[in-house]
Structure 1
């Protein structure tokens, strides 16, 4: 398949470790709920209906690129990390104002064994995701590179066991402590599915990949080493191997985002990912020191800065870029997590403009 030639390769050059004219900018959850054009298109449609309709997913992906023309250096496909549990045969609903809901979460050995024996057909079950990527890649016409993504295995296990978001993580913690070997088998099944899903996203048009281990910080350091790190390692090693089998020889950069996993940064920087994305709890100077030029760092301003005055935004942007971008390489501007539904689009524009200003200085 011959895709349009990429016109803005700033993000890809940065992930290669090249010295660049300014740090590239994109923001997690840049496509979606805070945009009036998203709300107009969504109407009363179900969230997963949006994801599973390629024409709509493509339009939603491109909306922020058009709104912030010249200010955003990547698009990320409009989708959700919970499509892998769907591919594993689970029902997932998105309830407005509440978030994801699994009517039948994994609570017993029988529940888990059903998932372990389930025959996954990623190409068939997630066909709509690949169609959306291909359509988006053509419609972007090379403006910016396109991200594909998936959830980290531990994070997906959390949702599958808890039945949605959680504050106590009771069922996920009970699972890994009560049935550690069964938990590892489940994590392996999720990982195998994630590797295939990511590789097929590249075939469909993704030019860069991100793995969201969003609940990484809920594990102790010891448990992270057992229930997250090995599977993140398998993904970064397994995707390139699978891509070669699929006839793709080009290196596809990969970024890992393990929110709250401060104790694991040194290990994450050595896993082989081209980039490590940081949440806002990190002091940039400390993160740069720990990374020691091993990979590109991404992040990490608190999204809440968007609620502040322009002066506050400028001050915090300058601090972030001064600390991360000393050598004009190996840094990507991003939030330390995603946008909020209530954010002012013009404040985000100001944030992006300030990032360009200070990044180019």
Structure 2
């Protein structure tokens, strides 16, 4: 893959998105209630055309959107990303009737979508799902639980992954489109560290039919993994956006803060920490862009690149934000400070859509299964 650099029009678009996030989205985010869906914010994202662009652009554009919005308004970034995650299975695998019913409402911000994969005992091991789709004539009834579902219980429609073939692990999972008003479906909000909405869902014999199947029966795992392969690099982009915001705040703070007869930046230990923050952030961004480009080009190593991008970027953002807090001192711990906000936001991406440990497992598995050329040896002693 060639060395990566953004085109001038991409750089300009990112700057425009940052300005939109600061001027038009940040005020709406500030009026929202933590842990609740902010429908006014979603409507504005739809009005700006950003929700529609989720489904008309490639992986790189998705990354640039998420990084740019995260820099100035993490709430807007997350609202946009969760709409994409919840509705991408419909866009990629849904029937014409499913897409016609839901995608216009999702892209306008008038309907909230959610991706319901995780369960109380099946988070990272997605093939271990136990939510049952029990056959009943020409339909099924869903029985079980989902947990840690973003946008639940306030979403209007859910992409739900349920077991249709007991004991078959990944080969026995089916994706269903489940509107929130189906009988037997209830939910509870969960109070989490990060401020976006997360909840649990209970399925008590929820009826679904063949018209609700997304993709093919027993083919839901492919739907889930295809969605995650697209969105994992963009989780990294979200992390990069937060890291850039923390880095810029630290540059400004250390340049003006007086200490020990000079500025903080004059202390070598401080300057070197800031340099390390910048180095890691830039490296993470390049890996994210490369992974997204690989996805757009249909490269065979997408799962490995996506896992690498998410792993490096989320771990990097955790380091950068933590270092920024340390260099700001106690002021960064005050409720409402940018870094206090980022410190709460930055922790979750290392867990959701595959924890860091799972990304390492994916990388190792892909490395050992990819065909490799043996190094040439001459038989001579080194």
Return the TM-score normalized by structure 1: 0.29
| Greater helix share, structure number | 2
